[in-house]
Amino acid sequence: MAKLSFGMIGGGEGSFIGDIHRMGAQLDGLGQLAAGCFSRDYGKSLDYGRRAGLDEDRIYRTYEEMAEAEAGRPDPIDFVIVAAPNHIHYDCCRAFLEKGIHVVCDKPLTNELEQARDLKALAEEKDLLFGVTFVYSAMPAAWFMKEEIAAGRIGEIIRVKGEYLSDNLLAPNEDLDGGMLWRIDPAKAGKSTCCADIGVHCQQLISYVTGLSIRELSADMTVVGEGRQLDTDFTASLRFDSGAKGHMWCSNVAAGKYNDLNIAVYGTKGSVAWSLEEPDFVTMSGKNGQTVRCRVGKSGGSQAGAPFRLPAGQSEGWVLAFANIYRAFMTALISKKAGQPFARNYPGIDEGIDSVAFVEACVSSWQNGGRWTEICRKR
């Protein structure tokens, strides 16, 4: 079977996340990097593309040039990965959708809710697949939690707690590298730093695991750091459509924390909890005080749809979670191209829209003194 070919916007030299996207997209042998515009500096883009083994005529100066040229080739890319800063997500995605090219975009989908909705309308009009890389919901532990909750193991959900804690913005601005500097720039990051960067991961993971939708929220944002305008720490109280309640705390200034993403779901029969710091363990607790640490992995039983790749005891990592998303996306695309039925088992544009709506509600609530604010559900 011929591999799918993909291109990339951004993700060039010095881009950590770009390397992760490429590894994830190529790990299962379903896709191959064929084109790219890796940097605003064409010289850097050329250097990077040549080292990646690309033909020079498929290393482009701009994403507009790339979309136009690839669409006109007899062998165009099958999809594009957008791994550039937030402020150009919308324009990049739209340029390729208009040319009939499928898209995978890093989160957050866009900086504005109407932009996200416009991308959905265009993708549907063109009958194109659209993935968004909410990577943590592709980890085996998240799938395990979702299955346990759906099976009624913890009963009816009463309360949810989520945190994503890091200290990567405790340093002064002059000590930040380029990858962090743009995240505190409103012209590039949009309305939010913390909420839009790591908060959306927590929000989407909660939604995936529980199957619940946030109805309204009350948020409080804090700007920590001299010369900054956007939040670097935020909390939100949550009310779900089901009547359950929740709380979220996310921070880029929690000293001593690196990527401490953790969630806990409490129900009428028990609870389930997981932490990224122990990625292969899920803790199940019951009303009788019994607590069980469940190690996820193949040896625990391979069920249909499970994302397990390794035997229990071998850590299922972050790169494999990216690969899970790309495997699901490319499997669907291969089937679609062959005119066969396919399932969308990857986070897509609806999840992207929900997260943009979440950020907008948090910012609106904060600007209005923590007033309870409804999430705009319209997609």
Residue 207 near residue 153, CB atoms below 8 Å? no
Distance CA 220, CA 236 (A): 6
Check residue 13 and give its pLDDT. 81
Would the pTM of this model clear 0.85, i.e. be above it? yes
Asked whether residue 277 carries a pLDDT value surpassing 70, the answer given is: yes
> In the CATH scheme, what is the code of domain 137-310+354-374?
3.30.360.10
**Rg, C-alpha atoms of the chain:** 21
CATH superfamily ID and name for 4-135+321-348: NAD(P)-binding Rossmann-like Domain (3.40.50.720)
Distance CA 79, CA 128 (A): 10
Q: How far from 167 is each of 47, 226, 233, 336, CA to CA, in Å?
A: 33, 15, 10, 43
Q: How far apart are the first and last CA of the chain?
A: 36
Check residue 172 and give its pLDDT. 94
Lowest mean pLDDT among 63-67, 178-182, 239-243: 178-182
Check residue 298 and give its pLDDT. 66
Residue 280 near residue 295, CB atoms below 8 Å? yes
Asked whether residue 210 carries a pLDDT value surpassing 90, the answer given is: yes
Asked whether residue 149 carries a pLDDT value surpassing 70, the answer given is: yes
Residue 362 — pLDDT band, cuts 50, 70, 90? Answer: very high
The pLDDT of 64-72, averaged and rounded, is: 98
pLDDT digits (tens, 9 = 90+) for 338-350: 999 999 999 999 9
Distance CA 375, CA 344 (A): 24
Check residue 313 and give its pLDDT. 67
- Listed by start position, the domains of the chain span 4-135+321-348, 137-310+354-374
CA dihedral 271, 277, 280, 282 (to 10 degrees): -10
Asked whether residue 155 carries a pLDDT value surpassing 60, the answer given is: yes
Distance CA 99, CA 68 (A): 7
Cβ density class 315-352: b for 16+ within 10 Å, e for less: ebebebbbbbbbbbbbbbbbeeeeeeeeeebbbbbebb
User: Peptide bond preceding 140: is omega within 30 degrees of 0, i.e. cis?
Assistant: no
Distance CA 78, CA 185 (A): 33
Structure tokens at 60: 């482009």
Distance CA 203, CA 162 (A): 8
The full length of the chain comes to 379
Residue 43 — pLDDT band, cuts 50, 70, 90? Answer: very high
Residue 134 near residue 351, CB atoms below 8 Å? yes
Residue 287 — pLDDT band, cuts 50, 70, 90? Answer: confident
- Judge residue 162's burial from the number of C-beta atoms within 10 Å of its C-beta, 0-12 exposed, 13-18 middle, 19 or more buried: buried
Distance CA 246, CA 26 (A): 38
Asked whether residue 363 carries a pLDDT value surpassing 90, the answer given is: yes
Cα 223–chain centre separation: 23
Q: What region, left, alpha or beta, does residue 228 occupy, with left being phi > 0 and alpha being psi -120 to 50 degrees?
A: beta
pLDDT digits (tens, 9 = 90+) for 227-251: 999 999 999 999 999 999 999 999 9
